[in-house]
Amino acid sequence: MKFLTSGKVKDLYDIDNETLLFKFSDRVSAYDVKFKEDIPQKGKILCKFAEFWFKELPVSNHFVKRQSDTEIIVKKMKMLPIECVVRGYFYGSLVSRWKKGEITLPKGTDTTLAAKLLEPIFDPTTKSEHDIPINKQKALDMNLVTEEQYTWLEKTSIDIYHIMYKIAEKAGFILADLKLEFGILNGKITLGDSIGPDEYRLWPKDSYKVGKTQEAYDKQILRDWLTEHGYQKQFDDTRDAGKEPVAPAIPHEIIQKMTNRYVTAYEKLTGHTV
């Protein structure tokens, strides 16, 4: 087995001509900055969530099997250079982009923080070190996908969001948004990468309230702490100056909270223990 590359969270290994091994780590990143501290049990939760969602969703995917607590085997495929984001609530970067006039929302949309959108919207980005939001025209102009592929990705991504939303709702959560990745396998668009708390925002229904920052059972805990303490702005300013941001140390209580909530989300959503 040959080591290929390390991503923000996963290490990839080449098994043979047809399969890869994903090894999930406890590493964490936020706002495209990698942190030195690990989040205990994160890799195990991400791995088991990937297995759960790939088995649960009625969509062709590249999952073969779970190899260990932190490893899955997947089929090789040519990934499409687009991240398929579906947003169900007015939250996150959607808020700032709307305020800057970078995105138009349907007439009648409630633009109170964390309000539910009239319908989920497809809001894709490029796949790069710093993802850039795109629309259909930009995706076609950049030759990222064909028009037929874009239409398929939009419909399928929203369909998957609806399925996952219902599963989360039964477990007492709100699935606020979701990021999916697809590739081409045997000439067919196929769901790939992984799906877990690094790819969506998950809020408990019992504490949900429009107009406020929501309780996060995902990576948003770290993002909220960074924003609250001015680090997000520091990161942006540093990048604007042509330099790479330096990650601050994550407080122990934030690390502990992330571990606890990842575990809770997994056990409630899947009905399995970690």
- Say whether pLDDT at 129 is over 90: no
CA atoms within 13 A on the CB side of 154: 14
Domain ranges in the chain are 2-75, 78-270
Measure CA 209 to chain center. 22
Rounded to the nearest integer, the mean pLDDT of the chain is: 96
Q: How far apart are CA 197 and CA 178, in angstroms?
A: 9
- Whether residue 202 contacts residue 196, with contact meaning beta carbons closer than 8 Å, is answered with no
| The pLDDT of residue 175 is above 80 | yes
Inform me whether the pLDDT recorded for 178 exceeds 90. yes
- Work out the percent of the chain whose per-residue pLDDT is above 90: 95
Residues 48-71 have a mean pLDDT of 97
**CA pair distance 246, 233, nearest whole angstrom:** 12
Residue 235 DSSP symbol: H
Tokens at 210, concatenated? 């429009």
Classified by CATH at the fold level, domain 78-270 comes out as: D-amino Acid Aminotransferase; Chain A, domain 1 (3.30.470)
Answer whether residue 234 shows pLDDT above 90: yes
pLDDT, tens digit (0-9, with 9 covering 90-100), for 3-34: 999 988 999 999 999 999 999 999 999 998 99
**Which run of H or of E encompasses 35?**
none
226-233: long-range contacts at Cβ-Cβ below 8 A with a sequence spacing of 24 or more? 226/30, 226/31, 231/31, 232/31
3, 11 contact by CB (below 8 A)? yes
CA distance 165 to 161: 6
* Alpha-carbon torsion (75, 79, 80, 86), positive or negative: positive
Tokens of 180: 């999916």
Nearest CA among 88, 83, 54, 51 for reference residue 70: 51
- Look at residue 271 and tell me whether its pLDDT is greater than 90: yes
pLDDT of residue 168: 98
Angle of helix 220-228 relative to helix 252-270, nearest 10 degrees, comes to 150
Asked if pLDDT for residue 173 goes beyond 80, the answer is yes
Can you give the pLDDT at residue 94?
96
- Residue 169: pLDDT band by 50, 70, 90 thresholds? very high
Residue 3 corresponds to which amino acid? F
Among 14-28, 117-131, 240-254, where is mean pLDDT lowest? 117-131
Q: How sure is the predictor about 92, in pLDDT bands with cuts at 50, 70 and 90?
A: very high
Distance CA 7, CA 28 (A): 11
Do 202 and 181 touch, CB atoms closer than 8 A? Answer: no
Q: What is the pLDDT of residue 32?
A: 87
**Is the per-residue pLDDT at 130 higher than 80?**
no
Domain covering 2-75, topology:
Phosphorylase Kinase; domain 1 (3.30.200)
What is the tens place of the pLDDT at every residue in 184-223? 999 999 999 999 999 999 999 999 999 999 999 998 999 9
CA dist 263 → 17, 96, 160, 259 (Å): 35, 31, 23, 6
Locate 239 and state its tokens. 């990048």
